[in-house]
Structure 1
């Protein structure tokens, strides 16, 4: 496919459409597959990382058409990664490696020969020392792989930059917007923030006034491997931890944080009754829906009203809807 404004406009238009239906991992996977067809590469390695003076730190990653042991092998020679060194020395520019010419290290030669990676290009959105950024390494395999042109380098860097911006809009579950005032973030299995940390600091930073860096506060880090809803009354906060199956390969977790609402203090059964009543169902309809006696529903309704400090369904619905997605 020829490169140019028409090709790039198509990529951007399709990406913007997918933002509405894909999460960050799905959007990244689609983009890599699309770019592989447009630019003509055989394999790829992508994810989120941070460039540091001493090298690159990978926080979440996935591969396309590479063996399972690729990442483990890279870790053994990461201190000799010429691509990372090039991006540290030349921020904002793509980095190139050619097995047959240019600078070499034993580590790069070993990586190239082990996996047959003849021509490599890496693009990353971000600058050394800044927060975690998205990267994409693309590989042309075999001795006949052609060199990367200047046009291809520019195309890939622009695509990664735009993709990184789009992924900031994909932290929530597709089709389920957050309740008002809620913040959703993506983190890795060690509590390193991947997406959404800026929004969390902006909206809820005062909850942890001494919090600094890109790792979650310790109180949140303890929850990342405990799926489900957690109430933190000392912080006036509710945290929902989710790890969709599609995130497991990259080790990502999704955390949605919102302010504590009196509805959160109801029992599970009371919340079910409250939601059904808020939907306009009668006591008899709620009883049939939940398998309860009508008298039980009436008693629970009185308990719900007392706990929430309301005296009619309109006020109940307003309070329940505050915590609904």
Structure 2
């Protein structure tokens, strides 16, 4: 089993402090695994699962784990209907549930659930906690597992997890928002706002302005998912008179909403020409990139000027610079 380190059970305050202190240093798509590894220094366990999803159906759209394989989430989902700890966790959100308090050992180790889900992974003891975030509509499950049957989770460890699960979830939220600020995604422009979603469109972190824009432009939307399909990485599309940008963050996606600007009127080819011109390429250099004559590039550029209402490269550069800040 995992060997506890010094700052573990003797000082949970140090663990909590580290969760928030290191949030800006750990990449957001790695933060949950990192946090579980830190938790293993506080509560001794062999494997752990952290899944999040829509609270309405408790389907896990985003999962991470340590000591398990990539198929575990699927097996867990398939056996939820026969898992007695499920209802106990849902009915006691924020309070960890010990499997042995839900079902007697002699019944558990003879059960279909044990044979199908836990025994193949060597899991003998389970301590699970659910958490519901009213701001983003996400349900999170954090389960700790031990491989030795005689190593039961104690009441002291259950109370400790109860205290720490709040900080795990909120520190993960804190880490995402720090990343948004540090990555220059959130700007001072009042008409732009961002959210971090999984690939199914479920919210993980949401700026209040993002919700305001969704309510205004998608009045009939669901409250827990994006009202449009997830786009490709580094793409921008117009939906319901909003410019919607997508940027991948590991298995998650940063989605930014803003009111369209003049550059959003450009075609893909025109936007490409603008990018190269603003990088300092000459008409000849751009022409070589596109395999066209320099005069064609010149004609494209002047049509771009006319389309967005400017008259010079300096105005174009200023417009592009302001566009990048939204």
> Runs of 5+ in structure 2 lacking a partner?
none
- Say whether 1:263 aligns with 2:255: no
Separation in structure 2 between the aligned mates of residue 130 and residue 271 of structure 1, nearest angstrom: 35
1:40-90 deviations in whole A, cap 9, x for unaligned?
A: 2211111213445xx743232233222444233323321233333223222
* Deviation, structure 1 residue 207: 0.7
Quick check: 2:82–2:113 contact (8 Å CA) kept in 1?
Answer: yes
Separation in structure 2 between the aligned mates of residue 7 and residue 186 of structure 1, nearest angstrom: 25
Structure 1 counterpart of 2:50, from 34, 46, 57:
46
SS at match of 1:291: helix
Structure 2 counterpart of 1:113, from 103, 114, 119:
119
Show the counterpart of 1:94.
96
Quick check: 1:50–1:129 contact (8 Å CA) kept in 2?
Answer: no
Show the counterpart of 1:6.
14
TM-score of the superposition, structure 2-length normalised? 0.76
Structure 1 counterpart of 2:79, from 65, 73, 77:
77
Indicate how the Cα distance of structure 1 residues 262 and 100 shifts in structure 2: closer, same or farther if over 3 A, else same.
Answer: closer
* Deviation, structure 1 residue 115: 2.4
Separation in structure 2 between the aligned mates of residue 139 and residue 75 of structure 1, nearest angstrom: 17
- Say whether 1:193 aligns with 2:203: yes
> Runs of 5+ in structure 1 lacking a partner?
none
Indicate how the Cα distance of structure 1 residues 70 and 267 shifts in structure 2: closer, same or farther if over 3 A, else same.
Answer: closer
Q: What does residue range 54-73 of structure 1 map to in structure 2 within 5 Å?
A: 56-73=58-75
* Higher deviation after alignment, 291-300 or 109-118: 291-300
Structure 2 counterpart of 1:135, from 110, 130, 141:
141
Matched length: 306
Separation in structure 1 between the aligned mates of residue 278 and residue 143 of structure 2, nearest angstrom: 51
* Deviation, structure 1 residue 146: 4.3
Indicate how the Cα distance of structure 1 residues 290 and 119 shifts in structure 2: closer, same or farther if over 3 A, else same.
Answer: farther
TM-score of the superposition, structure 1-length normalised? 0.76
Indicate how the Cα distance of structure 1 residues 207 and 274 shifts in structure 2: closer, same or farther if over 3 A, else same.
Answer: same
Show the counterpart of 1:165.
173
Separation in structure 2 between the aligned mates of residue 130 and residue 301 of structure 1, nearest angstrom: 44
Quick check: 2:262–2:308 contact (8 Å CA) kept in 1?
Answer: yes
